Structure 1
Amino acid sequence: MGNKDKPSTALPNEIKQLQEELAQAREYCQALLWEQAQYQELEKTLQDSRQQFRNIINLLPDATFVVDKQGKVISWNRAMEDLTGVKAEDIAVKGNYAYSLPFYGERRPVLIDLILNPDITLPRQYDCLIKKEETLTAEAFCPKIGKEGIFVRISASPLYDFTGAKA
């Protein structure tokens, strides 16, 4: 008897195997789609939180800016724009002490840098430097603000992430 006369069970077994593999692939794809939806939802929540943070900073009546651990400007509020004449979009994500230019006309460490790096040596520019817990407060003359410069009272403090680590 040749192969043609033998009843074949291989084909139904192959179909059953393919159906099982297809069902597994479908479950895997559904899981990927669910994960993608979760990721998109988290991404939107993060974007909303960032925008809310920017809105809060912008509403502060005091001139305020925020720098990240690398010393890059991540927020520069409207009051800071009014004080310095520098628009937020012109200073955003700039590092290398760019935030000191509108105040002192040169790139150099300022009070916030002492928060970022406690071992840094600041120029002798601050009067009445006070440390209370993790907040530094001082007075300084900013020669580049206005026609003749101004004296300002400055405060600097760290920001923390959700784990309690310095952000």
Structure 2
Amino acid sequence: MSSGASRPISRDSATSRDDRDELRDAVRGVMDSKRQEATDHKAAIAAAKQREHRQAPMLVVLIALTGTLAWAWIARPAAIFGEPPGPAVLSPARAEAQARYALFLSRARIDAYRRAHGRNPSQLADAGPVEDGVSYTVSGQGFVVERTVNGRVLRLDHAARPDSFLGGSLDILHSR
């Protein structure tokens, strides 16, 4: 048998031991590195799960808060927004101006009905919308519309000039 083929290359035992120590240290380093990577990976997964567990209750609270705010904005409960304002109180001059304008509009509707039908309407509603508090009386070919305001009865009949009856009411109604 030839001596070169079956025998390992001979090295001195100190070099061989150093190589083995270096190899063992390298393998140990790789193993430690892999072990540390696995530990870090597990820690990252645990931290992500913990964040998820913390975010889920926050999400529920956020959805509930959004729903409550939407309800409050739509329903406008008195506990949050206060009582709704009541009807505005009109000054006597403004109330009279509104009454005069209501009678003026009623007169205009009655005149339009007379032109279209050749007669007075049997009731005020036949001529169109009826303003609050306006009464209508037919007498022969004529008529009278009335409304009480501030304890005073205002009358506008078929013979009166509507623009003079209106007077400065439009100026009062347009002013704030």
| Bigger strand fraction | 1
TM-score (norm. length: structure 2): 0.32
Structure with the bigger RCO (C-alpha within 8 Å, sep 6+) is: 2
TM-score computed with the length of structure 1 as normaliser: 0.33
